[in-house]
Amino acid sequence: MGVKTTSVFCIATCRARKPKKENVVFYPSFKAALASGFRPCKVCKPTENAAQPPEGVKKAIQLVKDYPKEKVSDERLRKEGISPDLVRRWFKKNYGLTFHSFQRMSRINQAYQELKDGKSATAVAFDSGYESLSGFGYTYKKLLGKAPLKSTNQDMILTSRITTPLGPMLVGATSRGVCLLEFTDRKMLETELRDLQRLLNTRIIVGENQHITQVRSELTEYFQGERQQFDITLDTPGTDFQRMVWHSLQQIPFGSTRSYQQQAEKVGRPRAIRAIASANGHNRISIVIPCHRVIGKDGNLTGYGGGLERKRWLLAFEKEVATK
């Protein structure tokens, strides 16, 4: 619900003082509230809490992290007071896969890291809870595309979920750096994932590495107004022209904007405005490569993969932080 007197929107159970009925307007989603010019409440954090997993799901995920080589069965979940049905529904809705598939990916990622460190396939298989080498090899090849001993030189794209004030984001990273950072409701997300697999000649699997940990920390600092530049390493496959355009986006100062014409002039291609716009649209790393800072020549907001309501919010947020 949006409160007209404060321009803030909340969830219905917010602990803040209740507004008068005539000052309240209801919206079907937080994106609709953002599009109408309302800001997320700092008390109930509607965009963040809407994306947070329920307590039972949090506990289930923690079990996988605490026991990376063990299978967390439905029976184990019930003993912990967790509903397997709740966990299944949440994973299917938010990850597009089952909880057991998530576990398999996590275990195979752990096995992949140990194989790269020189551990034998036999030791890794039985340490990971598999009863036979053939069962381990079948699952491993199905997920990673190669047999265990043939994959140690292959780099994987690890993916994880990040909660932000503008909704959940999907982050992907190779051993070289972050290759994806997008809001989970971006229409082109599946296409971007397929393109990354093709361009990097690799597979995607659920997991985390140091690059994902770092971008999660830096994004938190960014949204708290404590960071204006990102230090994370990026892995951005693309044409030479696209990489030149993406580099130019990173040169736009925090709190500022640039038109497509100005961006084209900056890269020395004053007539390549359409090509510049296309390269911006193929940027797979939101916020860190700030394509949201590019606007129309007349000052109007133009297309943004994360939605114009997010673009408007990001520009207003950065301008406010920059002028403090």
Nearest to 185 by CA among 164, 204, 167: 167
DSSP, residue by residue, 262-324: HHHHHTT-TT-HHHHHHHHHT--BTTTS-GGGEE-TTS-----TT-HHHHHHHHHHHHHHHT-
If one counts every other C-beta atom within 10 angstroms of the C-beta of residue 42, the result is 10
Do residues 206 and 189 touch, judged by C-beta distance below 8 A?
Answer: no
Distances (CA, A) of 76 to 18, 60, 73, 126, 159: 42, 10, 5, 20, 26
Do residues 91 and 103 touch, judged by C-beta distance below 8 A?
Answer: no
Catalytic choice (10, 14, 44, 291):
291
Q: Is 44 an active-site residue?
A: no
CA geometry: angle at 42 spanning 39 and 48, to 5°? 85
H-helix segments, 7-83: 30-35, 46-49, 55-66, 74-79
Cα gap 153→24, rounded to integer Å: 58
DSSP, residue by residue, 115-142: HHTT--HHHHHHHTT-S-HHHHHHHHHH
User: The tokens of 245 are what?
Assistant: 């355009």
Cα gap 303→152, rounded to integer Å: 41
- Active-site annotation, residues: 291
